[in-house]
Amino acid sequence: MPNPFVLKLEQCDSLSDDEKRVLESAISRVRVVENDEDIVHEGEHPSESNLLLDGFAARYKIFSNGRRQITAIHVAGDFVDLHSFLLKTMDHGVVALTPCRIAIVPHAALEKITDEYPHLTRLLWLNTLIDGAIHREWLTTMGRLSATAHTAHFICELFMRLKAVGRTDGDTIQLPLTQAELGDTLGLSTVHVNRVLQELRKEGLIRWQGDALTILDWERLVSVGEFTPTYLNLQREHR
């Protein structure tokens, strides 16, 4: 099976066979993390980073009073904590939302790549820059859109990202979040998430049963969420 991370990088730029080989050999081992377990804990000083091969994960911060905010949702092909290579201290946790298959990449291997493979280094850097671009987009949708529009936008984004790594099934994606988790992602209360979802359903934009979310009207969902995918950088360029 193709490494979804390579798949993702190849959306942005071309990779030489040599570079692919280097990437593969940077993986020291593969592990599985169960549902609801932390992949990385806040406060840790990890010496390796986690590449998600299968499953869904989330970055999150928790306040003293127990309120939680999810700052990123990760899917197959995402390097969930590549930044810990240089940031050293995890300022947030990463939790598995489903059982996750994870490739471990030691920081020593990353350091070697940065020493010897400039182009590959730029692509790894790019990867974290796209994370940043998504953060910015979330900031604007959170700050300036209604709860409904914000939710629609999130669904559009997730659909496109899953499509980029071949994890869509027609107009359907897997969305393994509870409404409470979706609230933590969007900065809303669980009750309001429920209201918003009902509205999106009533408007005939989506269907969501169990884990399966189906887009019923992409055009209108995009328009409600004011979604433009530029920030996802899914264009091939020389980097």
Partner DNA sequence: CCGGGCATATAACATATGTGAGTGCGTAGT
Partner DNA sequence: ACTACGCACTCACATATGTTATATGCCCGG
Under the rule (CB under 8 A), what is the footprint of a copy of itself?
A: 59, 61, 63-64, 67-69, 71-72, 83, 86-89, 91-92, 114-115, 118, 121-122, 125-126, 128-133, 135-140, 142-145, 186-187, 226, 230-231, 233, 235, 237, 239
Q: Note whether 192 binds DNA by CB under 7 A.
A: yes
DSSP 54: E
With CA atoms as reference, report the closest residue to 187 among 133, 147, 226.
Answer: 147
Candidate list 23, 120, 123, 188; residue touching DNA; CB under 7 A: 188
Q: Residues binding DNA: what is the number (CB under 7 A)?
A: 16
218-225 helix and 147-164 helix, angle to the nearest 10 degrees: 120
DSSP 83: T
Alpha-carbon distance values, 225 to 87, 153, 154, 156, 198 (Å):
33, 4, 8, 8, 16
Count other Cβ atoms within 10 Å, centred on residue 25: 9
Of 7-15, 21-29, 121-129, 187-195, the window that binds DNA (rule: CB under 7 A) is 187-195
**Kind plus residue range of the DSSP H or E element containing 91:** none
Of 49-57, 69-77, 131-139, 192-200, the window that binds DNA (rule: CB under 7 A) is 192-200
> Tokens in use for 213?
């979310």
Where on the phi/psi map is residue 166: left (φ > 0), alpha (ψ -120 to 50), or beta? left
Interface mask toward DNA for 109-128; x: CB under 7 A: --------------------
The 3-class SS string of 205-239 reads CEEEECCEEEECCHHHHHHHHCCCHHHHCCCCCCC
Q: Note whether 172 binds DNA by CB under 7 A.
A: no
139's contact among a copy of itself, DNA, none, with CB below 5 to 8 A by partner kind, is a copy of itself
Q: Note whether 189 binds DNA by CB under 7 A.
A: yes
The distance of closest approach from Cβ of residue 72 to a copy of itself in the complex, given in angstroms and rounded to an integer, is: 8
Q: Smaller CB distance to a copy of itself: residue 172 or 179?
A: 179
The distance of closest approach from Cβ of residue 26 to a copy of itself in the complex, given in angstroms and rounded to an integer, is: 16
Candidate list 49, 50, 148, 174; residue touching DNA; CB under 7 A: 148
One-letter identity of residue 124: L
114's contact among a copy of itself, DNA, none, with CB below 5 to 8 A by partner kind, is a copy of itself
